[in-house]
Chain A
Amino acid sequence: MDVAHFMASSMGGIRTAGDMVARMEYAKNMKIGPAKEYVAKKLGISTLDIADEHIMRELREEMKLGVVTGVPNAPRGIAAKMNLEKLLDIKINSCEKFRQSLRS
């Protein structure tokens, strides 16, 4: 059933910009239209392109936002999320907690 919804109607997570649109819905209570527009503007592409794997695969690697395939040295986890914080102008809880755990 997961795959059926993925194929039928979903953005595709980190294959595209689905995680970023989800973050704007949760972080700012944005509905789907404004959330997509916000993310598209930050990425400098159209709302159609943010769900396009061909465009987003390369853009995510270039902008160090985390990629869906195993690429050595590409940021993942906290490092990728710290880059997402800067891009989307939001705070992410796991990044905040990571920063708090570092010695000043």
Chain B
Amino acid sequence: MTAKEFYTRMGDGKRVTMTREKIMDDLQAGAADAADMGAIPQISDDDLERLADIICDPNRAVSVEPGNEVVLTYDIGQLDFTGDNGNSGAGVDMGRLEAALLHERALGSDTFELAHSDYSIKPVKPVIAMEMQTMEEIQQEIIIPYFYGAMPNMGLYYAPDGPYGNPADLMREFKIDESMEQSEKAASHLARDIEYVGNKIYAASADGFDFDTIASAGDADFVGSLNGIEALRKANPQMYINSGMSGESVMGIHGAIEYKGNVVAGMFPHQQVKMCEMAGANVFGAVCNTNTSKSLAWNMGRAVTFVKECVKQASIPVHCDLGMGVGGIPMFETPPVDAVTRCSKAMVEIAHVDGV
């Protein structure tokens, strides 16, 4: 007799069928990979069985049990409506006020944010007065916490887009010391820009600042962002600060740069969260990137292992990043609903996150 097969997904979103035994094998392998990489405990056999139950549920969409609901936060602001497919945007032009209120009143958002179309700290500086006016206007109407959101995106500070030498080019020429020096200068510049933009937008009534994809340009990007957050916290003790990461591991492009005596290169979510706590963030956005060649089970087992340990060690709330290609969700611009709801439930009920 052939073993029963269940519909599931690959990390690129493609639908496949797998037996429960194969799903369990992949869950164990993904969890073991995270435990090995992060030097953290593996999730329990009971957790693995519960994850298998979630994946093998015969219904297309699954959900948490009543009473287990968590906070739903958003990044990228209105660009999910107005942006192009590079942002998984729907390409529908509309005002930022309308987009914010639609998220509040039609999409069940517990928080939302204002965003510039380039969604990075650096390009906001020249248009900060416009952003302040829009923030003030929308705050008159909206009820849910309304942030300003942007990526630190330190890559914009390197040649050819910015004033500092590009570390990748310099390292190719074996100019290692110069590469490290340029990263440090870019990190200081980023911190100054975060402080400038953050203080201005908070003065314009923002509830706070959502940092999206911290450390996307590596360890110096992480340190620059942390120093920026620290400056904002010092100036604005009541500001809501969300620190969302870009990957499960901080890339060591500098390799030795430190935050408060800690080398940040190679840090995993349970270590990243401690840095964000020290800087003064209120909420940490944990990330685990999806491997498109592996199954949903492998990616989910791996992501839940990383995030569960992070939640355990965190003193602040942890919201798991559950967008395209993170948190076990397939790397695809329209992620299948069956996969999204399974990852959502798994992160809430197994990893015990405080929000998604």
List the interface of chain A (C-beta within 8 A of B): 1-15, 18-19, 21-23, 25-27, 29-32, 35, 47-48, 51, 65-66, 68-69, 76-78, 80-81, 84, 91-94, 97-98
Contact, CB under 8 Å: A19 / B344: no
Contact, CB under 8 Å: B66 / A23: no
Chain A residue nearest to B142 in the complex (CB): A77
Where chain A touches its partner, the secondary structure class is helix
Q: How far is A83 from B21 in the complex, measured between Cα atoms in Å? A: 54
- Chain A positions within 8 Å of B204 at CB level: 97
B340 within 8 A of A: yes
Give which listed residue, B207, B340, B345, contacts A26 with CB less than 8 A. B207
Interface residues of B in 308-350 (CB under 8 A from A): 315-317, 322-324, 334-335, 337, 340-341, 344-345, 347-348
- Chain B positions within 8 Å of A1 at CB level: 88, 323-324, 334-335, 340
Q: How far is A93 from B103 in the complex, measured between Cα atoms in Å? A: 21
Q: How far is A84 from B207 in the complex, measured between Cα atoms in Å? A: 14
Give which listed residue, B63, B145, B240, contacts A9 with CB less than 8 A. B63
Given contacts A4-B341, A8-B61, A26-B207, A94 and B110 within 8 Å (CB-CB): no
Contact, CB under 8 Å: B108 / A48: no
B109 within 8 A of A: yes
Interface residue range, chain B? 35 or more
6 additional A-B pairs beyond A9-B70, A19-B144, beta carbons within 8 Å, are: A2-B74, A8-B341, A9-B348, A12-B69, A14-B144, A22-B71
Given contacts A22-B144, A78-B140, A4 and B337 within 8 Å (CB-CB): yes
Contact, CB under 8 Å: A77 / B317: no
Contact, CB under 8 Å: A5 / B72: yes
For A2, A7, A13, A48, the residue with the greatest tally of chain B CB atoms inside 10 Å of its CB is A13
* Interface CB pairs A-B, < 8 A, 9: A1-B335, A6-B72, A8-B340, A13-B110, A19-B145, A21-B71, A32-B353, A51-B67, A51-B69
Binary interface encoding of chain B residues 139-151 relative to chain A, with 1 for a CB under 8 A from any of its CBs, else 0: 1111111100000
- Chain B positions within 8 Å of A13 at CB level: 72, 104-105, 107-110, 144
Q: How far is A35 from B70 in the complex, measured between Cα atoms in Å? A: 10
Contact, CB under 8 Å: B107 / A7: no
Given contacts A11-B110, A78-B139, A31 and B240 within 8 Å (CB-CB): no
